[in-house]
Structure 1
Amino acid sequence: MTPRDAADAGGGRWSDLDRPPLDETALRRGLVREGSLWSGLDVVQRTGSTNSDLVAAAGSGRAGEGAVLVAEEQTTGRGRLDRRWTAPPRSGLFFSVLLTPGEVPVTRWGWLPLLTGVAVATGLSRAAGVDTALKWPNDLLVTVGGEERKAGGILAERAGESAVVVGVGVNVSLRAEELPVPQAGSLALAGAVSTDRDTLLRSVLRSLEDWYGRWREAGGDPVGSGLQETYAAGCATLGRTVRAELPGDRSLVGEAVAVDGDGRLVIATEEGVQEPVGAGDIVHLRPA
């Protein structure tokens, strides 16, 4: 019996041959190099939340800008407003990055999750051949059987005064019977030409490095960096009638017409008022 056969028999790391483990050594060799944003990359087999782990590492001085933490499985992965994100081991990309955009005014840091959305969508389009749309403020959408479905999400959290941890979760090889809810999707179900997670992760992180570099060089200016225009072009929310559910049982119904310079969604109501809504103000955003 080969070592792999033994692992299969015991339910080990190769127990699902359709979902091989990430190659940490190859990922480091391809991404962590002189002049790169990425200063370190670690892959853990299982953790509660890569965001929580990286925030803690930043707080204790164990991680600096460009640190990447990837998990094969997250047991308490979180989305916006502490919503839970679960998936089978090695079925997706679950990772967090630590960024310290010190030269960018803090008032523009709210663009980081939107920037990450653009970078992830671009990276996945290149490597998986899947058209990924963005649902404001932090969801990644793919088309499965002619229907838009959520295949991923982004969560940004402050790590002290000078850093931000951005977490990404993407369903890669999730099968129909494994979907947590019927409205969920995955790259595989969307017809991806590749579900090789090593290739996908490299493509996404290189895209994120590129967009983050442009944004920093522009001092965080979403117009000068091209970020605002690119986000709007890929945002499936714009042009649709939506209902924004706000705290205090308030709601706002209208057409999503723009994403403004602060990254807020501008909703045009029937009364002719254009009202911007920030990601931190919204509980749910649904089709009206």
Structure 2
Amino acid sequence: MTSRNAPGDPSGNARDSRWSDLGRPPLNTSALRRALLRPDGLWTSLTVVPATGSTNSDLAVRAGEGLAEGAVLIAEEQTAGRGRLDRAWSAPPRSGLFFSVLLRPGPGVPVERWGWLPLLAGVAAATGLSRAAGVDMSLKWPNDLLVTVGGEERKAGGILAERAGGDAVVVGIGINVSLRADELPVPTAGSLALADAVSTDRDPLLRAVLRSLEQWYGDWRAAGGDPVVSRVQAAYAAGCATLGRTVRAELPGDRAVTGEAVALDGDGRLVLTLANGERQAVGAGDIVHLRPAG
């Protein structure tokens, strides 16, 4: 089989070809739809695009146009992917899973409980990937997915939840799957491959994450968003690498506090015990792990 943009094509467009890296085949859209779209299920549509700026931005626009809950948008490559605090997220084409889902949790879930959605998505992604990839995943509050590479914690994924107007929330998930050491954007990054995953086949990995997310979201919504009844709070705490550690919380307004991360409160905030014994709940900001747990 030949391609206009085959490897070695002097046009410089080889990276745009579905055959440019045979070790990173494209996702099988039709198989994913057969596996995930069911009349009684959460997922209502599934679209795979070769490249886009940001799946979150694209899906937010469609949410405003009345797109039904359960839409899944996946990009083989994101050219302007965003993490928290508008940080860039980039990776080679087909080297990871870059997707967003549209959720409409109301009216059964009070708006004040929607802040649990990124934490719920973290639990779902970590549990799904642990089963499908055979990799021990942990969570860094509030939305990082961690793996262990060479005895060190590395960030292999992240989650970004954004209101999309009205009752819509777009949840974006990015996961580094097959990135090699020389492709990592920063030294603290990692991938499933570098964590010795038993599989880097993206199709079953994506199915596992979306099925896990469907289950956790369904239980959470059935419980009216209650994090205790739905077990989301307990599951997040059990898998959270931040709890039990001394951390520095870099807060909005160029402020920072240091303390031991001791709990998650009912709103999903990280509770710190400061040096003076006071407790402070942190709802936004960057968390820096200063020492290992225990």
Aligned to 2:288: 286
Match of 1:213 in 2: 218
Residue in structure 1 matching 2:71, options 58, 67, 71 = 67
User: Do residues 77 (structure 1) and 81 (structure 2) align?
Assistant: yes
1:147 aligns with 2:152: yes
Confirm or deny that 1:164 pairs with 2:166.
no
- The number of aligned residues is 283
Letter in 1 for 2:264: V
Residue number in structure 2 paired with 1:126 = 131
Q: Does 1:230 align with 2:235?
A: yes
Q: Shift of residue 261 of structure 1? A: 0.6
Structure 2 counterpart SS, 1:221: coil
Q: Distance in 2 between matches of 1:163 and 1:123?
A: 24
Q: Which residue of 1 aligns with 2:98?
A: 94
What's the TM-score, normalizing by structure 1? 0.96
What SS class does the counterpart of residue 170 from structure 2 fall into?
Answer: strand
Please tell me the root mean square deviation across aligned C-alpha atoms, in Å. 1.2
Q: Alpha-carbon deviation of 1:4?
A: 6.3
1:173-212 equivalences under 5 Å are: 173-212=178-217
Q: Which residue number in structure 2 is paired with residue 242 of structure 1?
A: 247
Q: What does residue 268 of structure 1 align with?
A: 273
Q: Unmatched 5+ residue regions in structure 2? A: none
Identify, as 1 or 2, the structure richer in helix: 1
Q: Which residue of 1 aligns with 2:51?
A: 46
Q: Shift of residue 7 of structure 1?
A: 3.9
Q: Which amino acid aligns with 2:129?
A: L
Q: Give how far 1:161 is off.
A: 1.6
Corresponding letter in the other structure for 2:289 = P
- SS of equivalent residue, structure 2 residue 253: helix
Q: Which runs of 4+ in 1 moved over 3 A?
A: 3-10
Shift of 1:3: 3.7
1:31 correspondence with 2:36: yes
Q: 1:62-121: CA deviations, max 9, x gaps?
A: x21000000000000000010100000000000000000011000000000000000000
What is the percentage of aligned positions where both structures have the same residue? 73
CA shift for structure 1 position 247: 2.1
Deviation, structure 1 residue 5: 9.7
Q: Unpaired segments of 5 or more residues in structure 1? A: none
